[in-house]
Amino acid sequence: MNALTEMYGELAIALTGDPLLLMASAVAAFDPFWNIFDADDIDYDCDPLQIALQVTRGAFPDIYAEAIERLRAGDSYSDMDQLLCKAITAKGIPLDDLDSIGWGVPLSAVGVDLEDPEFYAVHNDLLPLLAPFGIAMPEGAVYSVDVPECVYLAGRGIAVSLTDHTDPALRQVGWTFAWMFSCTGNSLIDQTNETLAEIPPLSWSAGDVAFAIELIEEAEGILRDVLAGIETLKASPELRAAVDRNIAHLYRELKKKGKLDEHNRLCWTSTGSGANGTTVDDPVVL
């Protein structure tokens, strides 16, 4: 044994003999980012794995503990990427890879831009639902579709009336129109990824993480209702006819008064088993 290895041995003995040094050694081994107490302490200038470890220490301590254990066992960067992304996704925040973690909580929007011609090419199956509002497939190469304000007012009037309905199936149809006319109240449903990118991202603070999870869960529920509502409309000519009549009614009111108020009432045919075939008047308040 040479002098260098002897010195290491003596240091090891000294370390185990001093409670404070022993505790510091344990912290360094099992909690290397012990000085990260909140999102403001995170160093975003390091590599994505180091950022992810700092993020999880504050936002998901159980994931952090497992990740540190796996690192000590010698897992590769690829293994850690897979572990962390899968664990964070399971918490309610979808994460495909660690490269995006330094930009804040990743959020994806599914909103509609009726002025974007690409929307009509991707969702041409929705054109029959938009036709009663006077919206048609854009002709030729256009960069933007002109959508009059009255279209949004009428569309939101239909959505408000249906989402407040007592019939669950009609409420789902209401969410379909709320999605198409960007009035669900959920940022991920009412905005596109382009407009969402203009908003400062949520941080990895405990409060922002909890809000993001709630926002994502709500958006997923709304989207399920949107898809169910589309199927209900496709399967019910009577309901589509009622939509057409109510749109025409709202347009007449807008032409007459220039606005919609609480005195506007829309008539719907219920699809519920408890009131099948009945008509119900619902107020529209915008």
pLDDT at 245: 94
The reported pLDDT for the residue numbered 271 is 61
- pLDDT under 50 in the chain at which residues? 273-278, 280, 283-286
Residue reference for tokens 């909690």: 31
At residue 278, the pLDDT reads: 43
Residue 264 DSSP code: E
Contact by Cβ (8 Å): 233, 162 = no
Distance CA 236, CA 272 (A): 13
pLDDT of residue 30: 64
Q: What is the pLDDT of residue 1?
A: 56
- For the stretch 167-213, pLDDT in tens is 999 999 999 999 999 999 999 999 999 999 999 999 999 899 999 99
Alpha-carbon gap, residue 225 to 175, rounded angstroms: 6
Distance of alpha carbon 281 from alpha carbon 267, whole angstroms: 5
Residue type, 69: E
Instruction: Provide the pLDDT for residue 56.
Output: 94
**CB half-sphere exposure, 132, CA atoms < 13 A:** 19
Q: Are 172 and 231 in contact (CB under 8 A)?
A: no
What's the start-to-end Cα distance of the chain, in Å? 85
Residue identified by tokens 């007592």 is 166
Q: What local confidence, expressed as pLDDT, does residue 275 receive?
A: 37
Q: Identify the pLDDT of residue 266.
A: 87
Cα dist from 196 to 43, 207, 257, whole Å: 25, 19, 34
Position 285 scores a pLDDT of 41
